[in-house]
Every structure is written in structure tokens, then in C-alpha cells.
Structure 1
Amino acid sequence: MVLTPSSAPSRAPSYAAVLRTPHAACPFAAALLGRLSYGVAPLSLLLALKDATGSYSVAGVAMALFGAASVTLSPARAALIDRYGPRRVLPPMAGLYAALLTVIALATWNPGAPALLLGGLTMAAGACTPPLGPVMRALWSSLVPDRELLQRAYSLDGVAEELMYVTAPLLVGIVVTFTEPAAGVLAGAVLVFVGASALVSSPAVSRAHTARPPAGGPAGPRLHGIAALRHAVLVTAAVGLCLGALDLLVVAFTERLHQAAAVSWVLAALSAGSAVGGLAYGAVRWKSSSRVRLPVVAAALGAALLVAGVSPHLYALVAVVAVAGLFVAPALTTAYLIADESVDAARRTQAGAWVNTAFNAGSSGGTAVVGLLVDRLPIALCFGLAAAPALVCAAAVARAGARRPRTAGTGAAGRDAVSGA
């Protein structure tokens, strides 16, 4: 099978080797610190808006504006960083984002702030969200030229981010226990500003940007590389849609069993499975290319969701969702690898941002669509509809990949689209 590990006798590089890469550990830690804000700030912001206005509807609309502005403008923000460099763009972007969060925190500390004002400030903050994840992944690509080690770097980055999003709600819970939710918004502002500032202070950041070839020259993206990026974005959007739908379907499943409190255990199983799957996937030396692996892992995720829909009891659901989680981090890692391979160094941040945007947009869309269906259709059918995008997109991308002729420069490691290598 194409997904079997390589039988090459040489020893594969370890995750420790990733962290031992010169100048890698400090910016990685700084980026994670800043990205912790993306788990802390939105939940705190939702709670703060609800307390300040006394309305779940106002809070929901404001957060929808926040998410829409953040997701839709992500590629544009990444393009600015590719053009002018992180050191020139990230500090003002992170500073403005942190300042807006601080103003919102002060405005929501006590009830009575105008809903229109809070909605405008929240949308403005979403528009300024600094793309720390895409910046760090572009930095990994410049720090780690070896493709196998880069696979491990992306896997480590993805698993660390997954664990961070599990930890963030716990931190928010501690904050709101002892003080106001607005304090969590303020903490998010501090985290993103400190993390972004520490990231751009790393010597690796300026070195990586100055080493990039100019966009549009001989190192520019090849036509088949752009096609591969589009396929990665399509599959990632489908994966996001599956997971966005799964969150709501798990709530509906547990409520129908009169065990609503168990939803946290099911979602924890998903996160645990993703962490395990990401670490295992990154440690394997694959024979097949990233383009071959992506539709396979996406289809496996879709198949697991189909099985989850017919789970006879809660324990079976937990087990199947954990299995589904095994394919989440590998799918995202593979998509980011394809994005990195498909464009030249001057466009890496933007390419990674497109993958990230597709996942987030798909997740929001999946939650919205399933929310309209879950009270009207059987739960098993809803799981099947949630699984369908991953299965259909995986099949379409695999078929397109099979039709694409192999060029003279195409190798088993999928380096045919690596520009400037």
C-alpha cells in the first residue's frame, strides 16, 4: 500500500532533533504563547459580552462578526507578512489587536456598554488577528530544510496547538471563578502581544525573511503546485466541516442519552486521539507523497464519523471519536506540507494561511449546517451527512491526482512542487 512506512535502514530524525534545530525552540515557544490567546480570548470575550449586555443573542452576533473578520482576512494579513516581513508587520498588527481587546475588556468590565459599540470593536479586533500559526509554520520551513524533519516539526506544532486549545478553556474557567470574564479578555491581549513580540525578536525571523527569493521569479510556484494547494485547501475545508459538525452532533447524541455532561469526555477523546495520531504520523518515514496521503487520511476521518453515527452507546461513541481523532492532526500536517511544497518561499505564510482559513471556515459552516438539521433528521443520518464532505472531497482529489501525469521532476517524496529547492 502507498501509506506504508519506508523500509530505509537509516534512522529517522526525532522530535528532539526538531527542538535542537538552531534558533527554533525560542520562536516556537513564543508562537505557542501568543496562540494561547486564541483559545483564551474568544471564550472570555463571549462570556464578557454576554455579561455586559445581558443578551446571548448580542454576544453570539458579535462573536460571529469576530470570527468572520478573522477568517476572511487571514490570507490578506499573511500576504502583508510575506511582502514586508514579520518584523515590520507583526508588531503593529499584534499591538492593535491587543489594544482593541484591552478596550473591550474595559468596556465589558461593568454592564451597560452599548451593544453596537461592542460589536464594532469585536469585529475590528477579529480583522487584526495576527497570523502567528502561519508565520511559525513558514519559519519552520526555513529553519528545517530536510523534508522529513519538517514533517516532524509540523506534527509537533500541530499537536502542541491542539493541547493548547484543550488547556485554554480550563484557564478561562479559573479566571471567571475568581474574577470577571473581562479579565480573561485582558489576559488574551497580554498573551498575544508578548508572544508576537518575542517571536519577531528571534534572529531566525529576520534571517528567514531576508533569505527568501522574490515572488514571481524563477522560484515562483508551478502550475501543478497551485493545483495541489487548491486540493489541500478543499480537503482541509471538508475536514473542518466534519469537525465543526461533530462538535454539535456530540452534544445532540449525549443529550438524547440523557448524559449531556459526558460531552466533555467525548471531545477530550477527540483531542487525545488527534495528539496521538499527530505524533505517530510525524514520526513515520512515509514512502508515499503528501498528495497521496492527504485524501487517504481525510477519507479515514469521514469513515470514522460514519461509524460514530451508529454507535450503540456512549462508550462506543467515545472510542470511535478517539479513532476519528487519530486522523485530524495528520490531515492538517499533510495539508500544511503540501502548502509549503506548492509555492516559493516568498508566499509560504499566505499559502499556510489559506489552509488555516479553509479549516476554520469549514468548521464554522459545519456547525451552522448541522444546527439546522439535527432536530429534523435522525442522528445517524446527520453523522453521515457530516462525513460526506470528507469522503467526497477525498475521492475527487485522489482521482485528480491519479489523472495528473508524472513529470520528470516528480519524486516519491512529493517534491515536484518544491520551488527554489
Structure 2
Amino acid sequence: MNEMVADFRGPTTNFTALMDLPTGPVPTEPYRSPAYFELERERIFKRAWLCLGREERLEKPGSYFVQPIEVAKASVLVCRQKDGSIKAFHNVCAHRSNTLVLDTEGTATRFVCRYHNWTYRNDGALAGVPDERNFFGLDKKTCGLKSIATETWEGWIFINLQREPEVSLAEFLGDFGEQYRGIPYQNANKSILYVSHLNANWKVIADAFAETYHIPAIHPETIGSTFASKENPYARPISAQGWGPHRSVSTYGNPEYAPPERARVERLAYSSIATGNVLSAAGLDDMDVFLKHPAINPTKSQHWAVDVTWLFPHFQLDVSPGGFWTHHFWPVTYNSTRWEARFHMPDAQDVWQRLQQEHYIARLGEILLEDVGNTERTQQGLESGAHDTMPLQDGEVMIRHNLHHVQKWIDAETARDALA
């Protein structure tokens, strides 16, 4: 792991050099090339471990959800078993390859294909075949759902689409997986989900949430004065670190921020519940263990606002004084992406907390629109071919780090080589 702390009153901190990255312009071709996207499909998304989210999505035995993974041309059925374990399968009937489960989530011990009524248990076993005697030596034991390698880490569900994963999840996560053990993900069973289909490369959208350099320009009326100040006018991050293909930055928070006089609803919403962060809808009362974890705000800076952690390739986990939220960037084509964001919050205990949460949701919607609304314009500019490279500043180190490891995975013959 490499880590460095910024000094806003001194020279620019060189996170890029500390993470052993070059400082020159980076290519734009990975954002606009259909051929490059096909390499990402085969070399990254079909070899890396992919995070699907929290296991709280499967509340009890029999719970399931269906996760489309367009970049792999796959539909994944994820099920909670009787013993509490989690299994994943290709959502494809073994008879004629029809899509098996059409609902996005639910509870069921059996699944019936709507084409010919083949029936499967939620452990993948084929349980029933109409007119079975008319087949030629059908062996039901070999006609179950095709399983997908599935592992959990700290309550997060991961799958690997290789038939025999080259590396384990522990190997894939590496030092990150060890350092981030023991974080209590409070309110993991309750979230607000935002979904958008955007005409932009998946990396364009992930990049938008991976740096704070844009905040004073894009978010002047929403969070511009939250993540920047006279001391730090360009919202430079506090620290940055990397673990193999994974990375994280700690963002700066303006210690003098207060809702302006004109923001009467915000002043009212946050007057009774201290969160320490206007991006949060949870109080600080139950956050002591969370905030004291050594991986969160690793420098323990008093100016800390949010940790933005990017698990390669497509998942971001953000933590702040009020809790955590996530982003999934699911590639569809070289210039289209399905983006999912989940923001976790507790059940409101009184009218004040409900007011705060309603304000929080409305505020988030505005901030997220400012972010993703810019991504399609960026994609248009990239596809114009006007520029073959782009210069990145030190605060955009996560973008540079991601492009470095994307190329490394594309060039590597095996997943193990890519992690070396």
C-alpha cells in the first residue's frame, strides 16, 4: 500500500509519484474504441471478481435477485440457501437456454421456466421435467443450472464468471481485503436506489465520482463550499492510497461550512441531528466504531469529508461520517452504461429525522444530476476525435491509476499476471 497526506498550505502533494504512476497525458482511446471495449469484456469483466452488493439484499433463505451483466452478455441469479450460504447461477434454463427468472427479485424455493415448465430448486438442481420419459436417457443430475463462482467478503457478494477462477477473491482483494476488515456497515438493509442508463463509456461515469477537482465548477450551489474553502479552493484530496488494482482517496471537507441563510430547508433539516456531513442522512450517535476504524479517514484528518474507494473494476464504496453508499458502473456497450447508486440510511425515528432524510434524498438527486448530466457531453467530446490524450492533475490520481490497471489486465495473459 502507498499513502501520502496533502498539505494545502504548501507545495502540491504528488500522490501520482507515490503510487508509481507516470505523470504524462493519458490516452483517450480506451473511452471511445469499440475494439478496446471488447478487450475489456474478455480480459477484465470475464476474469475479475465483480461485486454485486450487500448480502442484506437476500434477507432470508429463499430470497433471490437477478443481476444483469450486459458486458458479459449474462444474467445472474443469486440465491440465499437454507443454510444461509449464497449461490449464484446463470439465469438460463438447461433445456433450450431460455431466460429462467424474469422478476428482478423475490422469494422462492423453486423456479419454473416459462417455456416448457422445467423446474429447478434454488440450489440449482433440476427438480422436474414434464414428459421426462420422452427424452433419450435424460440425466437430471447433469442438467441443473450452471453455477457461478461466488464468495462473500465482509458481507459483500462477489462473483467470478470464469468457469474455474484463476485467483481466489482473497487474492484478488489483496492487502485491501485485509485492511478493510471489520468495518461495521450500519443500515446496510435499507437504501435508496438511483438507476440511470447513460450514453457514456463506463469509465467516464466512474471517473466523474473519482475526483473532487470538478466540484467547485460543477457543484457551486450544492456542495461547492462543502468540499472546498479559502484554504483549499480547488478541493484537493487529503490522502490517496492504492492496493494493486484497487484505490482510495480521502476528500477534504470545509470545517467552516454552514448552510447559507437562504437555504432555510437545509438549515431546518440539519438543526436537530448532527451528521458531520451534508451528504449524510444518519446521525453521529452510533458511528463511533465506524469512524474509529483505521481504514476510514486513514490519516484521521480533522478536515475529512468522504473516503472514495474504488474496487477494480467497476465498484465504488464511499464512506462518510454519516454512513456509506455505493456506485456500480455496469458497461453495456463501448459508449453506454447502466449506473446504479445505493445510499444507505436508518429508519426514521421521529419527524425531524424524516425531514432530514427527505431533504437528503432531494439534495442527492440534484447533486447526482449535476454529475451524470456532464458525462454524456464528455463522451461526445471524446468520440469527436479532437484529442488523443488528456492531461490529468494530481487530484485525478484515481483516474490515472484505473487506466493503468485496465491496460495491465488487457495486456496480461492471466488474471494472476494482471495482479502481479
Give the alignment's TM-score, normalised by structure 1. 0.24
The structure number with the bigger radius of gyration is 2
Asked which structure has the greater RCO (Cα within 8 Å, sep 6+), the reply is 1
Q: Which structure has greater strand proportion?
A: 2
**Which is richer in helix?**
1
- TM-score, length-scaled by structure 2: 0.24
